[in-house]
Amino acid sequence: MKTGLFLLGELDDDDIDWMVATGSRQEILAETVLIQEGDPTDYLYVLLEGVLSVSTAATQGREIAELSSGDVIGEMSFVDTRPPSATVIAKQNSLVLAISREHLGTKLRLDGAFAARFYRALAISLSNRLRFTVGQLETSGRVQRLDSEGSVNDLDRDSQENMVLAKTRLDWLLRRLKDE
């Protein structure tokens, strides 16, 4: 399940307005490295349009995930402040909303309600991703391909309802940023 959709489903309209006002719209050309494994990043990204490829040195650069509209990139490094564990490259021209670590960190410190919604969304998303990975390990003995997709049916009822709202908000966010 897409991290961004969890995030957009948990946040409220004022939170989304803050993200649009604070973040910057960035066009990423095909073959551009957005995040380099091991190199610190100062941004959290929401992928609005396009496709990104995730690979690691441990897999000799083989793609382990493909990210698409609605995914969040850089959330693990944001949470644990460690350098990224993977490289993310644009497979095609893409559009992201980039929110600086500094601005987001300040917002999280000053706005407890926003922080609760934000971290809950990340926790649900990362938990879902881990369950998917464990399932892959159980069925194949090794991970052959990790996708950010999971089944909406695997979510609790509240999260399922938030996904509908999240998809609407992603469309709204994209329209707002395209009009800039």
Q: For the domain that residue 134 is a member of, what is the CATH number? A: 2.60.120.10
The token pair at 157 is 């009822």
pLDDT at 160 over 90: no
Q: What is the pLDDT of residues 116-153, one digit of tens each?
A: 999 998 888 788 777 876 776 677 654 444 444 444 44
Residues 6+ apart with CB under 8 A from 51: 66, 67, 68, 90, 91, 92, 94
58: helix, coil or strand? helix
Are the C-beta atoms of residues 30 and 93 closer than 8 Å to each other? Answer: yes
pLDDT at 164 over 70: yes
In this predicted model, which residue has the larger pLDDT, 27 or 2?
27
User: Where does the pLDDT of residue 177 fall: very low under 50, low under 70, confident under 90, or very high at 90 and above?
Assistant: confident
**pLDDT score recorded for residue 69:** 87
**pLDDT score recorded for residue 149:** 46
**pLDDT score recorded for residue 148:** 44
Number of domains in the chain: 1
Domain holding 164, by residue range, is 3-178
**pLDDT score recorded for residue 32:** 98
Mean pLDDT confidence for 42-54? 94
